[in-house]
Amino acid sequence: MSANNGRSHLPSALRRRLLLGMAALPAAALLPRPVFADIPPTSAVNTTGLAVTDDSVTIGILHSITGTMAISETGSVEAEKLAISQINAKGGVLGRQIKFIQEDGASDWPTFAEKARKLLVSDKVAAVMGCWTSASRKAVLPVFEQYKGILYYPTFYEGLEESHDVFYEGQEATQQIIAGLNWIADTKKAKTFYLLGSDYIWPRTSNKIARKHIEDHLHLEVVGEDYFPLGNTEFNSVINKIKLKKPDVIYAIIVGGSNVAFYKQLKAAGVDMVNKQTLLTISVTEDEIRGIGGENIVGAYAAMKYFQSIDTPTNRAFVDAFKKMWGPQSVIGDVTQAAYEGPWLWSLECEKAGSFDTEKVIAAAPGTVFNAPEGPVKVHENHHLWSKLRIGRARADGQYDIVYVTPEDIEPNPFPKGYQ
């Protein structure tokens, strides 16, 4: 970027010649627009004292690198770093390279709040890619609202929230649940459901929505509903109950390490998900299958917006780039891909707003479209994303076969009437 350095010192005639020369290069054809002459000055793009210089802008990454959540959040961090490196390779945002400050939430919600405050107040980052659990998001929410920051939150979650300062890249409950239940009731001719979950807000809220939909809209039956503390490893009792009730569909929202115990015990109890018993989950991505073991969960259905096995050129390129950066053994789950969308969405929104000021970025955001690996996604006024839902069937090798995609994007609806 030699033109960049010399911009303020070169006489204009020499500058024009350089520009013409550069334009002749084939590489220039690949650039989205001429970058050199168009870099807006810092005073125009940054009127609120953010960490922006003439050639760089700083954002924050706030995930758990240690503690129990590190297992899940590592993928998000990797995806965000990949996105940042790709954006930088394309010329950065508003002509500036993205630098990031990474903080460790340590799976501890107060630490998340503290680090969020540090990133916004001390480091003055322009945006934060962060959080994973709802608890961490709830803990940092007041900080973002007080200091007018922007948070890009990747995980699918229970909805019931619509903050001015947060963009939700993951699906909220109605997007994930309703279409999935419709499909399974249709294709499997299911009449009875058994709902299971880990005992905290996301599974409980999701199952409430599921139950409402099953009973009031599909007019089918829920024959059982059970919850287990996080970290629980004993599922034999509920597996016995399930075997006796013989539900057509087991609807499982078990989270974290308990998944491993649950599916192993399910298989050991002789529940055959390939031929006899249908199981639908919204909490097992390719990341979790690594710990569960593909052969223990083969045959289960999962409802996600993204699977690593999506067969489009965009996704294949994404998977290749990810594996190149993070190792050939990497797997990419729904949340990891959603985290990848974060820096891209932010950079597109900044370009659209022509500024890094958070209020301008937030104002410009609705309507932004990004060609994500899952397909094009659009930002809604409620800061969630329009996206499709896919149903995948788990294979023994840990990947999913995609058996259904909703034909249209589903509108996000975090406060669904009739489901509350």
Partner 1 sequence: MNALSLRKHKELIGIALLAVLIFVVLPVSLDIFRLNLFGKYLTYAFVALGLVLCWGDAGILSLGQGVFFGLGGYCMAMFLKLEASSVANTKIQSTPGIPDFMDWNQLTALPYFWQPFHSLTFSLIAVVVAPTAFAFVIGVAMFKRRVGGVYFAIITQALAAILTILIVGRQGYTGGINGITDLRTLKGWDIRTDHAKYVLYFVNGGLLIGAIMVARYVRGSKLGRILVAMRDKEDRVRFSGYDVANFKTFVFCLAAAFAALGGAMFTLQVGFMSPSFVGIVPSIELVICCAVGGRNSLLGAVYGTVLVNWAKTTFSEDFPNLWLFAMAALFIGVVLAFPDGLAGLYRSYVQPYANRLLGSMQDSIRGRRVAPASAVSSRVE
Partner 2 sequence: MFGYSFGDLSAIFAMQAFDGLILFSVFILMSLGLAIIFGQMGVINMAHGEFMIMGAYVTYLCSNVFHHYLLGLYPIYFFVAMLLAFFAAGTAGMLAEWALIRHLYRRPLDTLLATWGLSLFLQQCYRSIFGAREVGVDLPNWMMGAVHAGDTIEIPINGLFVMGLTVVITIAVFVLLYRSSWGKKVRAVMQNRVMAGAIGINTEKVDRLTFGIGCGIAGIAGSAFTMIGSTNPSAGQLYIVNTFLIVVFGGAQSLIGTIASAFVISQAQSTAEFFLTGSMATVLVLLSVVGILMLRPQGLFVLKIRR
Sites for partner 2 among residues 12-71 (CB under 8 A):
65-68, 70-71
Q: Is 371 exposed, middle or buried (0-12, 13-18, 19+ CB in 10 A)?
A: exposed
Least Å distance, CB 383 to partner 2, is 30
Binding mask 103-142 for partner 1 (x = CB under 8 A): xx-x-xxxx-xx--xx--xx----------xxx--xx-xx
Q: Which of 181, 396, 398 lies closest to 308 in space, CA to CA?
A: 398
By CB under 8 A, tell whether 396 contacts partner 1.
no
- By CB under 8 A, name the one of 1, 101, 163, 227 that touches partner 2: 227
Hunting for tokens 């406060």 — which residue is that? Answer: 415
Written as one string, the DSSP assignment of 46-102 is --S--SB-SSEEEEEEEE-SSSTTHHHHHHHHHHHHHHHHHHHHTT-BTTBEEEEEE
208 binds partner 1 (CB under 8 A): yes
Please give the span between the terminal C-alpha atoms of the chain, in angstroms, as a whole number.
55
207/315 with CB nearer partner 1:
207
420 binds, among partner 2, partner 1, none (CB under 5 to 8 A by kind): partner 1
Pairing state of beta strands 249-253 and 375-379?
unpaired
CA pseudo-torsion sign 127, 129, 134, 137: negative
Does residue 164 belong to the site contacting partner 2 (CB under 8 A)? no
Residue of 365, 335, 364, 411 whose CA lies nearest to 167: 365
d(CA 52, CA 62): 19
If you search the block for the tokens 């994973």, which residue do you land on?
Answer: 132
Q: Which of 188, 243, 276, 316 binds partner 2 (CB under 8 A)?
A: 243
Q: Which residues are CB-neighbours of 355 under 8 A, at least 6 positions away?
A: 40, 44, 45, 46, 47, 94, 361
As a dihedral over the C-alpha atoms of residue 305, residue 308, residue 314, residue 316, rounded to 10 degrees, the angle is: -170
Residues that contact partner 1, how many (by CB under 8 A): 36
Task: Answer with the entry of partner 1, partner 2, none that 142 interacts with (C-beta below 5 to 8 A by kind).
Answer: partner 1
Closest CA to 119 of 138, 139, 136, 143: 143
CB of 254 to partner 1, least distance (A): 15
Q: Which does 244 bind (CB under 5 to 8 A by kind): partner 2, partner 1, none?
A: partner 2
The residue from 2, 53, 146, 237 that contacts partner 2 (CB under 8 A) is 237
Binding at 337: pick from partner 2, partner 1, none (beta carbon under 5-8 Å per type): none
Binding track, positions 252-291, relative to partner 2; x by CB under 8 A: -----xxxxx--xx-xxxx----------------x--xx
Nearer Cβ to partner 2, position 71 or 101?
71
Question: What minimum distance in Å lies between the beta carbon of 78 and partner 2?
Answer: 12
Q: Which residue ranges make up the site for partner 2 (CB under 8 A)?
A: 65-68, 70-71, 74, 199, 226-229, 231-234, 236-238, 240-241, 243-244, 257-261, 264-265, 267-270, 287, 290-293, 295
